[in-house]
Structure 1
Amino acid sequence: MMSAPQAAAGANAFGQASIIRCQVCGDSAASPAYRFRQRLPWAAESTEQVVQGCGNCGFLFLSPRPDRAALAAYYTADTHGSGQVFRDESGGSRAGQNARMRAAFIAGMLPAGATVLDIGCGQGLVLEALRGHGMAVSGLELSPAAAETAAARGLDVVQGGLGTALGRRFDAVVMISVLEHLWDPGEGIAGALDYLAADGLLMVEVPNALVPTPSLTDWFSFEHLSHFSPATLARLLRRHGFRWAALGSSFREGGIRLGALRGADYPTRPGHWEAMEEIEARCPVPSLEYSSYPSRQAALVDGVTARVTGLLRGWRDEGRRIAVYGAGLHSLQLAELVPLQDWVDFFVDGDPRKQGTRFCGLTVEPPEALRSRGIGAVLLSTGAFVEEMANRVHGIAGEEVAVADCYDRL
């Protein structure tokens, strides 16, 4: 099996390193396709990030990028990498619905009682849903806090990354929102194979670079080092011996979800299977250089800046005390655009590790402080779950509290 091309790393004072060859096809004919500025959690100010486009296969990747050591520290110790600032895991919640949809896709391609390993399982929602389908589930999670939460649910979860010895192989290996975060996605696929039975199923879910969605944190965030289209993902998997893929719809607009198999013969298990070469041939590759994304992203940032500034000024003029819900990456970027300290009293976050610390010059409080501190307005600084967060705020502080989000989605 071919190994993915290695990076030429020359770390500078900010922990940056460069990729000189495409990690999908190995070609060196890459050129800048998109540039943006973003503040990294460990940096004092925003820096330019560059998305490169491979001239051979169309794969998009961040280079230069945070080096391996910086990323490892970020995902294991930094509270920015601890997940959502809010999570409702009740039966009807969006997070619960997403987990059940993913589990149904996976279980539909497996026999009853199959063993499943979820790499990057987070707090274990998909594992719980798979267990409901009769699967024997295990998880591997880099974040100690998330692994601890999953284990508290009674799940078999080991804290660690790819390469952690588990001593057995599984009928299926799951990688949801993992591959795009890895320094070398080829290493990720090779690492997954170490856990996968010879005839096992690999389920991968990644964002789709053909349909990037503007966001304050930028769809091409520093967290996402690789940006796949169906064609480039199929090409990477084919390099590692996978021959067949069953494509499924992702719960997120523009997501890619697929199951992959390595056998030469057409699969007999359930699902509509296509040869990897067929997916490569029929699916286009992204070309940001000619797309509308950069202008749409710039317009969104301008709109969010104007909206949030107007909201905060108006609430202050009404004499309301203001809190921002979310001490994470979204708020870190928002603080680069809007002087939050001029209007906001404190941040609120559901992560106990953040509570009692300082973030962007303000204290971070638990959600219950919305009531005890007499907050009259709350800005939801997040990319998801805004309706559930608004319900949480009103449940704590009352219906008279003004609630809005950065994108006017409520």
Structure 2
Amino acid sequence: MKFFAHLNTAVQVLDQYKGQQPFGLFIKEFFRKDKKFGSRDRRSISHLCYCYFRAGKGLEQLPVPERIVAGLFLCSQAPNEVLAQLKPAWNEQAALPFADKWTMVAGEESLAAVFPWADELSTGMDALAFCTSFFVQPHLFLRCRPGKRAVVQQKLTAANITYAMASEDAIALPNASKVDEVIVLNQDAVVQDLSSQRVGKFLQLVKERITNTAALPVWDCCAASGGKSILAFDVFGKIDLTVSDIRDSIIANLKKRFAEAGITRYRSFVADLSNPQANLALAIPPVLILADVPCSGSGTWSRTPEQLFYFDQAAILRYQTLQKKIVARVGTQLPAGGLLLYITCSVFRDENEAVVQYMQEHEGLEALHIELLKGYSNQADTMFAALMRKS
């Protein structure tokens, strides 16, 4: 009865975990200390824990073991050996429509209980569809580098890796696909969520507005792993790139990725952009600022459901305050007519439309194009982007 043992271990793990770090890191440390579990055992226990988190704020009336099994049932799209052992009656119903399964598990409790902040959502969000998406593992997405699509497809096919084209250059794969063993990451293709790839549409709008043939001065001010910089490099071709972030370690990792992507000419610096006195080591004024700002990450919670489970609504205002400080500081570097592309992976209005309104009312920026990049129907993240122009 090994799956009952897995269930008991999952209960033990969840009792110890308090949301203090990403669950993926916590569970790795748990297994490092207790080496009796094989790889299949680790995957099974981890999956049970994630099923528990995916119910978010719903099903709170259930004891932990029952909530885990309920989560497993809701996340299962077909009968499986784990559910067959833990709850045989539910296993026979695993292929039912999700709404029917929710009623079986939750009774009269609304699915809205999973994400009880529907009133805080950005315009255009389907709250119930968003709640349903938490019970499905998102895809792994690749963006093919220019001219590399056929090469990537050939390599995936040769390795018998199942994939589907999500757009002209976007490839969707099962989340656990070992693509790094098949393609040259960052050279053939980059790992980038579908909605993040759709930010390229905003860059195309910028490209249409730029008549100067010189290299476009771009500042990626919250560069993180550099995905948006690589996208800008691929869209514009010629680019005078500056990147910054708040920690040296982030910039160090970014430099490694840039080397793999063939980006060799750029400037970088470290700065806390929430500080109005932060030193900005910009050689020339940027014509375009990419501001993929820190946020709640609520549009990515299908990938990290523990954040849904432990989320405190007060964090929205804290992030909004930080976002306003960042756009106020970087906006001072834009010349008249310069562009700022504001990006979040949040679904909350106060991190999205409200900050755009703030920029228009207080920072001399006008909105040219705003879009909620909904990914919850495509097993992708949901993001928000707004292209702003300095008056």
The answer, yes or no, to whether TM exceeds 0.5 is: no
- The structure where helix makes up a greater share of residues is 2
**Structure 2 length normalisation: TM-score?**
0.32
* More strand as a share of residues: 1
**More relative contact order in 1 or in 2 (CA 8 Å, sep 6+)?**
2
**What is the TM-score normalised by the length of structure 1?**
0.30
